[in-house]
Amino acid sequence: MAHPYANVLRQRAGRLRELADTIERLRVTTLADGAGPATWATHRARLCEDMLGRNVHQLHLAADELRERAFRFRQRADELDAARGVVA
């Protein structure tokens, strides 16, 4: 029988992976792709482009961190089950 907390960890891991996928599907992550060279012609526009780039990068980092946390949750769940002699 699986460790009761192992199932909770696996559910949380699944939710974190779903959230990471949702973040990476956000329209904002491809917003700059639709802009042409004339879009960023002014100084203020270039500042906005830079800020957008930084924010998108932070979103990707957050998604990576969620996936890493999900991996650790799954790993801990497997450890809990292994301690009980359950094969995952």
The pLDDT tens digits of the residues spanning 31-88 come to: 888 888 788 889 999 899 899 999 999 999 999 999 999 999 999 999 999 998 877 5
Range of the domain at 20: 4-83
Give alpha helix (H) positions in 1-88.
4-25, 43-83
pLDDT value for 50: 92
Q: Does residue 34 form part of some domain? A: yes
Count structural domains, the chain: 1
Residue 88: what pLDDT?
54
41 inside domain: yes
The answer to whether residue 88 is domain-embedded is no
> Which token pair is 34?
């639709």
